[in-house]
Structure 1
Amino acid sequence: MALPRPDPDALLRKVQAEEARENRAKLKVFFGAAPGVGKTYAMLSEARERNVEGVDLVVGVVETHGRSETAALTEGLEILPRKELAYAGQFLPEFDLDAALARRPGLILMDELAHTNVLGSRHAKRWQDVMELLDAGINVYTTMNVQHLESLKDVVAQITGVTVRENVPDTVMERADEVELVDLSPEDLLVRLKEGKVYLPDQARHARDHFFRKGNLLALRELALRHTAENVDAQMRRYMESEGIRKTWAAGDRLLVCVGPDGLSERLIRSTRRMASSLGASWVAVYVESPRHFKFNEEERNRVEENLRLAEKLGGETVVIEGGGRTDEDILAFAQDRNITKIVVGKPSRPKWVDVFAGSPVDDLIRHSGDIDIYVITGETTKQADPPNLRSRITSPLRNYLLSVITVALATAIAGLIFRRTELADIVMIYLLGILVVATRFGRGPSLLASLLSVAAFDFIFVPPYFTFVVSDFRHVGTFSVMLLVGVVIGNLTERIRAQARLARAREQRTQVLFRLGQELARSAGSTALVASAIQNVATQFQSHAVVLLPDGSGRLEAPAHHLAFPLNDQERGVAQWVFEHDEPAGLGTLTLPGARATYLPLKGSKGTLGVMGVLPDDSPQWAEPDQRQLLEAFANQTALALERSLLAEQSTADRRRADEERLRNALLSSVSHDLRTPLGVITGAVSTALETPDISDSTRRDLLTSAQEEAQRLHRLVSNLLDITRLEAGALNLRTEWIPVEEVVGAVLNRRELATEAMRVRTHLPEDLPLVAMDAVLMEQVLLNLIDNALKYSPPGSPVDIKAWAAGKSLTFSVTDQGPGIAPGEEARIFEKLARGEAGTSRPGAGLGLAICKGIVTAHGGWIQAVNHPRGGAQFLVSLPLGTPPPMPQEGA
């Protein structure tokens, strides 16, 4: 069998990966099932051998735990001094990574890979120190127990009842160039524990009663043996791949069973399960989706799906291969990639003469299997003996056969016209051309008929003796054979090309569907839009109704409203809830709760199930066949990934919002508490002095009360600002607009008690022809008061504040200008944020809310507010309000 040509890019990547593996530093892990099996002892024993061989070796960390025989192995070896780190009032010894990098030995020993470093070390975990040593080109020997593997954390906790806190990522073990299992039986380990060779007596007694129970040790030993075997198997596969070894190495049995649409497949699956169980081997069920898959009827496609689900139920792995050529080539290529040792197939039950034309995949498998054993199992002789689609594979519609006969007749007529003026070879070419036309247009069956008719017509009409089938010259028999053979070959090749084209179109359609779904999900903003997009695509692709259910805060599934979503009764909700809680498909077309109206698939994310997708077919399920089932699962996976991304983005936005709110709350409380204490302190002090000191003068008492009044007004302003900013954020700001002149608003502000002592510093420049403006007078007074108060606060004592107003186009603008230090560059927009204060205002009282309130009120009026630096110095605040349609003028005599 000709193997497929290897991909040059893949070969280059393999060579580069192998070179990188050879040139990098080596990591060897001494692996054990539990403490006390002798990992450190084995590591030191091998290290001494390397030292004798002349390897530059340093002991980085070795924990002897008081074992004298282990400590004796360190004698004569260079030991790297540890550094002292302060922790909880004491100094603890820790591995000195910098010293090891500076020393740069050829090999360093690092005991207890899962160790957590003392706070203050460069890395939190020792395995991170080891990875940095490897990156620096230093070979490392290390030790680790199976319970520290990150992927086995839950399994170990379930077995032992102890949750291991110190874990090592599986990627570190995958990085290991060699894993040596240090094994000891549970009985011998318990004896060592009792003799005090593992822990001190008190610790040993506690360990024996909890972790070191015999059942725990047996389970941990099995985990260690299995993981080591998997590591060795991965190394063997890498070696076979790097050496280009295509044949199977039967280091361990792996079984493959071929699944099809016939009734024999169920028996094959069960037989393979029993065989794998007796051998203690893994097994996989493979279905080759060949071009003839598209000719299956609904019953056959359902049977393929049922057989694959049966294999999953019995504990096997299921794989669907997209075959484009010969079935035996696809199966053997997969088997060699997976190092399969045994292939189980069913004994062919179709007539032998069919194999002459269509070929026998079983015979081809046996012929080209090489070192792989082929098991052929006899099926039950039922009505399934002949594949139900045999007739459809051999015959074609009557119309195609009639057209085939007409084509041969037309070729005969053309040959008859030129017969006397040409050679027989040209006549043969005319018939071959007709066979080619039939094969490309009508398929294999009509082309075979055309070949037979062409040979018969050529013999009967153009070969002497004419109009008989007698052949006087036997040299023509070769011509007949070549014509027939060429016709059969052309028919087979064209049929294969057409089938491969159909398969390619189907694959292209699936790829386009998934690409379109990915694009639409990527464009969807928010989980609601994403769910709607997923429902729309699933409903369109599978001619069905769909629903996506997401959990609420209590874990109960809820379905967002959508016009293509189907209603759920209590039974259907129960099925969906089961899928969500068990992370397995259920419902219509599955082996779990098959009585449901719809099929429910879990939406699996990286951290668990995010929700459930339900699909209710309009007629028969479109995903009954394996390729459509895979496509539906791909839809669910794409939806789950997009949903997880959206949920993470929403969670990130919510976390950011909460953080901003918390920061704002803290800043607000800090600012307000200071601004509240100051006026309250002044008011309390002034009033107490006025009340408790009877002999003070009237002028002094008046000054005290005036001071208290001013601070009370300031306190009132602060509380008003807090209420205003709360109303703005809650959206509870209701405008009561009236047509009011700007002069009236400015005058009302200057007469406010808050400006009683500073109003003379305000200079107004208001033209007499200013138009009326539609605004809320009370709120705009608040805006102007805040701006004037801000200008007075930042202006030098006695300096004026100018208010100007002008109308231009469809807006009226007024400005408030001071003669203070101005606004720092880049702060023009930030000062309108809550609690934002200019650099020059950090020593001045205020909570930083006034300008934020101004912006909210002006924006609510449909205007804008801006802060700039005046050319002559100081800050200038511009407020622009839309004029709108002028009010109607009152009529005379009205």
Structure 2
Amino acid sequence: MTDDREERPSPDALLAAAQRESRGRLKIFLGAAPGVGKTYAMLQAAQERKRDGVDLVAGVIETHGRRETEAQLVNIDLLPPRLMEYRGKDFREMDLDAILARRPQIVLVDELAHTNVPGSRHLKRWQDVEEILGAGIDVYSTLNIQHLESLNDIVEQISGVKVRETLPDSVLSSADEIELIDLPPQELIKRLHEGKVYVPEQAKRAVGSFFSPGNLTALREMALRHAAERVDAQMVDYMREHAIPGPWPTRERILVCIDERVDAAKLVRVAKRAADRRGAAWVVVTVETSSSHTQTEADKDRVAEALRLTQQLGGETALLQGDDVVATVLNYARERNATQIVVGRARSRRWRMGKSVTERLFAESGDFNVFVVGGEDDDKPAPLVRPRKVKAPPDWLNLAFALVCTGIAIGVGFLIDMWLPVASISVAFLLAVMVVAMRAGLRPAILTSVTSFFAFNFFFTEPRWTFAVTDTQNVLTLVFFLIAAVIVSNMASRLRAQILATRESARRTTNLYDFGRKVTAAATQDDVLWAVVHHVATTIHGKSLVLLPGDAGLSIAAGYPPEDQLDDRSAAAADWAWAHGKLAGRGSATLPASLWLFLPLKTGRGPVGVLGVQMSEDADIPSPSQMRLLETLADQAAVAIERTTLVADIETARVATERERLRSALLSSLSHDLRTPLVSIMGAASSLQNYDEMMDHASRHELTQTIQDEAERLNRFVQNLLDMTKLGAGALKPRADWADLNDIVGAAVARTRRLARAHTIKVDIDPGVPLLCVDPVLMEQVFFNLLDNACKYAPPGTTVKVWAQRTPDYVTIEVVDQGPGIPPEASEKIFDMFYRVDQGDAKSAGTGLGLAICRGIIEAHGGTIKAEPGLHGAGTAIIIHLPQRDDMDGLAARISAEAEPEGGK
């Protein structure tokens, strides 16, 4: 027997397979260097698929003038390029929109790592390919191994040439198929000399630099290694998809610790290569301490760029909080089950107290393997955008403040010297040191400590007015004063840094709390959108807007300051962010020429809109901390918008359900209560017409009575519908007048005589019941409906009783029958429109409108109506409470006002 568990594919494998089905397949022809024949091999494969009848087009092909490559383009449709103007020159770029409109089965895209001309939809060609794949179109493409981001520094070290066009390793790892195009170095150099790679002049320069045998051998080795690793990964994927049993060793995890003092980008690349070689997961962390806010913008940008590079290379990032960097990193490493910790050799500092982070990690790492990566990359890429300018007071102001505080301490010292011993004067100087440390930081505090030391010596120790010290006791006083001053300045500056960090953290927390409170309190979608754009604009000190989908695509739903239109580039970035659920616009890798940065608003149900932000003039894009805050705000905004949408959907569904229920009930009532009396009337009339001469007087009277009874029944049904319509529209208003309850009930009993022939109606009204201020006609209809219901459901021969009595505030009236009663759960529902209690007797079925009309009329008079079990639990008692009115003047005024016809003054 086989184990079923071994034959069932893993959920991850099934999920990956399902995701691949909706995307196009990517095949990469991988080479070690230019000229190995990648484009030629891709065109050969395309020709084979073309002969098989596959719809295939070439999006962009770079033949570089090679005749044998151009010959392979025969019979292949080549889409015209898109002309792009940049700095006065025309460039030919792949027409992405034409490919998506053409929708072939396979598209050929040469040079996957190519950088697009500024103004294109994406920065890189591989991003164009991602969009093509997302549309379900297969792609054939070419790539050289030196264009992988993780190998950038290695290629530079080997060849001396820094490759500027790179792409994330995840692009290669996500390829469905990789075909290695290999060529020995000597044969490639021979092709170079023959002019099959570059033109002669360029070929001579290439042989002397990049195309040396050693360089090509190293590049070839890297290409073969990556191809082998990819084959191994595909084998593992195949085993998982087909549930093939095999060894599954515990996976290694590499933890990379970066900060502003190391070459963070190099650390990330080293960790990526190590993780790929070992098949390990890897995560890059940085620790924010209380002094992180004092870092320069350049240092912050180095860390932020490294984190972005990690995400591009497929790694995981984490931002940790803590003052002890080593303890924080080690605790996180234990939580994530890391096996190795990679750190960099920090740049040397002229002044350093205690061990460095790297030294402490070595000492406290325990079971962790710690690897140190040395060297620095002085060739830092220029930032894509201007860093945010942070206004800080100049150093000379802080130094001047330190000298002023020292001078004040000297003056206070002279005052103390009049009454207290010399040693007490040091307190004034220590206080000055503490004040400077709290207000200006560590370096001004150290200056204050040194100047205070010399001032204390010069002005207050014997011999005074000199720097000489003759008393041994004074020497010790000065030494300990200097030590205490330095310690106090260090502690006070650290306390200041912690206070500033706490304030910043509290500000962020308050920001999120205020935003959550605002969007929670907003009831409508417009209120939520206004709260979102106003809060985001205030947070970033810029502009914000929210775009929501509509029939004509995305449109601006709210903006602060008010904004009603976007330029074409910004609108394209917003559409792309909405379609792909990723960042787009200024400062991102997609459509960076846009004036706005767009963040998708996503929830578990999918995207709900797009949030656009535009920074103030002193910053092009949000800082990393602002970006994290914006992403959090975007998540909360998406949930708030979805909440309002769900409320509207629920209300719409409730109304639709109620409408459907009423429709079904109305159709049921019409089919029974309208059709039944019509059939009876038609039958009786037909009998009278056809058999009138053959009938005796009694039969003729019975038929005419049937016609009259059914016509009255039909009239009551139509009247109930009209009354219910008036109640729903608010048009049924009582015309109050003083009336005797005996007269109202008597008229209703008289109308019911014919319907209650099989029942006895007993009326018992207490003589103390006063006149009621009601509409007699409407109240008569109430008692008629109640008596009609009682006689309909009560067994023949039983008694229906109507009694009334006076209470201190109300007149209580009850209509009691001896029928089967009403279930407790239906005691409130029976007053709803079209609700009927199923008694199992089709003859007693009603429209379900009578009691609903009774409740509407009673409530219009300021009273209440309810249903309770009858005496000893038998039958049903309908209990009515009507208010007593003794204000004759008020009654006259009300009658006068209600008697005015509509449209009066």
Q: 1:690 to 1:536 in 2, by over 3 A?
A: same
Instruction: Report Cα offsets for 1:411-461 as digits up to 9, x if no partner.
Output: 764786689x77xx7777876666456545653223312332344345556
Query: Residue 317 in 1 paired to residue 181 in 2?
Result: no
Alignment partners' CA distance in 2, 1:567 and 1:329 = 51
Q: 1:549 to 1:861 in 2, by over 3 A?
A: farther
Letter in 1 for 2:398: P
Counterpart for residue 132 of structure 2 = none
Counterpart for residue 372 of structure 2 = 374
Alignment partners' CA distance in 1, 2:391 and 2:657 = 69
Q: 1:676 to 1:415 in 2, by over 3 A?
A: closer
Q: How does 1:467-506 map to 2 (within 5 A)?
A: 469=467, 483-506=481-504
Q: How far did residue 800 of structure 1 move?
A: 6.9
Q: Secondary structure at the match of 1:291?
A: coil
Contact 2:544 2:560 in 1 (8 A): no
Q: How far did residue 373 of structure 1 move?
A: 1.1
Q: How does 1:698-847 map to 2 (within 5 A)?
A: 698-722=697-721, 724-725=723-724, 731-735=728-732, 738=735, 742=739, 782-794=781-793, 797=796, 828-837=827-836, 844-847=844-847
Contact 2:438 2:495 in 1 (8 A): no
Contact 2:769 2:805 in 1 (8 A): no
Q: 1:581 to 1:480 in 2, by over 3 A?
A: same
Letter in 1 for 2:4: E
Instruction: Report Cα offsets for 1:186-225 as digits up to 9, x if no partner.
Output: 9xxxxxxxxxxxxxxxxxxxxxxxxxxx999858427569
Counterpart for residue 410 of structure 2 = 409
Letter in 1 for 2:443: G
Q: 1:442 to 1:569 in 2, by over 3 A?
A: closer
Moved more, 562-571 or 848-857: 562-571
How many residue pairs were aligned? 672
Counterpart for residue 445 of structure 2 = 447
Alignment partners' CA distance in 2, 1:267 and 1:881 = 87
Letter in 2 for 1:403: V
Contact 1:526 1:646 in 2 (8 A): yes
Q: How far did residue 507 of structure 1 move?
A: 1.8
Q: 1:887 to 1:215 in 2, by over 3 A?
A: farther
Identity over aligned pairs, percent = 31
Counterpart for residue 623 of structure 2 = 625
Contact 1:395 1:445 in 2 (8 A): no
Counterpart for residue 887 of structure 1 = 892
Alignment partners' CA distance in 2, 1:841 and 1:233 = 69
Query: Residue 112 in 1 paired to residue 4 in 2?
Result: yes
Q: 1:335 to 1:792 in 2, by over 3 A?
A: closer
Q: Secondary structure at the match of 1:865?
A: strand
Moved more, 357-366 or 511-520: 357-366
Contact 2:437 2:493 in 1 (8 A): yes
Contact 2:578 2:607 in 1 (8 A): yes
Instruction: Report Cα offsets for 1:387-413 as digits up to 9, x if no partner.
Output: x99998977614421234225524764
Contact 1:545 1:566 in 2 (8 A): no
Counterpart for residue 567 of structure 1 = 564
After TM superposition, the score normalised by the length of structure 1 is: 0.60
Counterpart for residue 880 of structure 2 = 878
Alignment partners' CA distance in 2, 1:737 and 1:290 = 75
Alignment partners' CA distance in 1, 2:272 and 2:492 = 40
Q: How does 1:308-457 map to 2 (within 5 A)?
A: 308-325=307-324, 327=325, 330-331=328-329, 334=332, 337-338=335-336, 339=338, 341=340, 343=342, 345=344, 348=347, 352-353=349-350, 355-356=351-352, 371-380=369-378, 397-406=398-407, 409-410=410-411, 413=414, 435-436=433-434, 438-440=436-438, 442-457=440-455
Alignment partners' CA distance in 1, 2:636 and 2:369 = 40
Alignment partners' CA distance in 2, 1:519 and 1:230 = 52
Q: How far did residue 851 of structure 1 move?
A: 0.5
Contact 1:261 1:303 in 2 (8 A): no
Letter in 2 for 1:112: D
RMSD: 5.5
Letter in 2 for 1:221: Y
Alignment partners' CA distance in 2, 1:411 and 1:881 = 85
Alignment partners' CA distance in 1, 2:463 and 2:381 = 49
Query: Residue 584 in 1 paired to residue 582 in 2?
Result: yes
Counterpart for residue 696 of structure 2 = 697
Contact 2:285 2:317 in 1 (8 A): yes
Q: How does 1:233-382 map to 2 (within 5 A)?
A: 233=250, 251=252, 254=254, 256=256, 258=258, 260=260, 283-295=282-294, 305=304, 308-325=307-324, 327=325, 330-331=328-329, 334=332, 337-338=335-336, 339=338, 341=340, 343=342, 345=344, 348=347, 352-353=349-350, 355-356=351-352, 371-380=369-378
After TM superposition, the score normalised by the length of structure 2 is: 0.60
Letter in 2 for 1:792: C
Query: Residue 849 in 1 paired to residue 845 in 2?
Result: no
Query: Residue 145 in 1 paired to residue 9 in 2?
Result: yes
Q: How far did residue 617 of structure 1 move?
A: 5.1
Letter in 1 for 2:729: A
Instruction: Report Cα offsets for 1:40-98 as digits up to 9, x if no partner.
Output: xxxxxxxxxxxxxxxxxxxxxx45xxxxxxxxxxxxxxxxxxxxxxxxxxxxxxxxxxx
Contact 1:764 1:802 in 2 (8 A): yes
Q: 1:803 to 1:685 in 2, by over 3 A?
A: same
Q: Secondary structure at the match of 1:603?
A: strand
Contact 2:866 2:880 in 1 (8 A): yes
Contact 2:525 2:645 in 1 (8 A): yes
Contact 1:763 1:803 in 2 (8 A): yes
Counterpart for residue 155 of structure 1 = 19
Contact 1:259 1:307 in 2 (8 A): no
Alignment partners' CA distance in 1, 2:247 and 2:595 = 42
Instruction: Report Cα offsets for 1:695-731 as digits up to 9, x if no partner.
Output: 2324313312322332243244335545654665xx4
Give the unaligned 5+ runs of structure 1: 1-61, 64-110, 114-141, 162-185, 187-213, 235-250
Contact 2:748 2:780 in 1 (8 A): yes
Q: 1:454 to 1:877 in 2, by over 3 A?
A: closer
Q: How does 1:122-133 map to 2 (within 5 A)?
A: none
Letter in 2 for 1:379: D
Q: How far did residue 607 of structure 1 move?
A: 3.0
Q: How far did residue 499 of structure 1 move?
A: 0.7
Q: Secondary structure at the match of 2:732?
A: coil
Letter in 2 for 1:732: A
Q: 1:648 to 1:226 in 2, by over 3 A?
A: farther
Contact 2:547 2:609 in 1 (8 A): yes
Moved more, 457-466 or 607-616: 457-466
Q: Secondary structure at the match of 1:856?
A: helix
Alignment partners' CA distance in 2, 1:440 and 1:514 = 28
Contact 1:522 1:642 in 2 (8 A): yes
Letter in 2 for 1:321: L
Alignment partners' CA distance in 2, 1:289 and 1:215 = 39
Contact 2:7 2:242 in 1 (8 A): no
Give the unaligned 5+ runs of structure 2: 26-176, 178-230, 383-388, 897-905
Q: How does 1:25-64 map to 2 (within 5 A)?
A: 62=1
Counterpart for residue 202 of structure 1 = none
Name which of 505, 523, 532 aligns with 1:507: 505
